[in-house]
Amino acid sequence: MAFGRLEKPEGSRPMSDINMTPLIDVMLVLLVIFMITAPLMTASLRLDLPKSEAATPSDAPSSIAVAITPDGQLHLGDEALSPEAFQKRITELGRANAQLEVQLRADRAVPYGQVAELIGWVQAAGLNRIAFVAQAAASAP
């Protein structure tokens, strides 16, 4: 208790807490940038698909083997077919069983365009389950 003196009111103290709002905003912006750019970076990968360490046979209950040779010959199972006959047979198989898995075997020398065209025929037939069959890589000694 001071006689005759006025007590000085306490002034504002400096804030000692960290303001988290700008940090959170920066982190959210960085997250959005990485979410957008990450899928774009995977498109530039160069892959050698014919050999794989994890190449194992599929346990699909119903499947059909489709193969394309380096000279462009199409095989459905063990039967060699012309492109027109192949499209007709694969359409019949697609109508009979839409859950049929297609196991695609393509030689390394087959151009990507022919493989993409073959996949288009299979999908047009209503078969969407396509497995790419690879040969197991030789293990290191």
User: Which has the closest alpha carbon to 136: 34, 23, 56?
Assistant: 56
* Whole-number pLDDT of residue 84: 92
**What are the strands, taking DSSP E only, across 82-125?**
101-106
Determine the Cα–Cα distance for residues 30 and 19; give it in Å rounded to an integer.
19
Cβ atoms 75, 69 nearer than 8 A:
yes
> Considering the domain 58-136 in this protein, what is its CATH number?
3.30.420.270
The enclosing H or E element of 130 equals strand 129-132
Give 36-48 pLDDT, tens digit per residue. Answer: 888 776 544 343 4
The β-bridge partners of 79 are 76
Residues of the chain with pLDDT under 50: 43-49, 140-141
Determine the Cα–Cα distance for residues 98 and 30; give it in Å rounded to an integer.
43
Q: What is the mean pLDDT of the chain?
A: 78
Which tokens go with 34? Answer: 């990485």
Determine the Cα–Cα distance for residues 113 and 111; give it in Å rounded to an integer.
5
Give 80-102 pLDDT, tens digit per residue. Answer: 889 899 999 999 988 888 888 88
Q: How far from the centroid of its chain's Cα atoms is residue 14's Cα?
A: 53
Domain ranges of the chain: 58-136
Determine the Cα–Cα distance for residues 78 and 100; give it in Å rounded to an integer.
17
Measured at the CA of 124, the angle between CA 105 and CA 42, to 5 degrees, comes to 60
The β-bridge partners of 63 are 101
pTM: 0.54
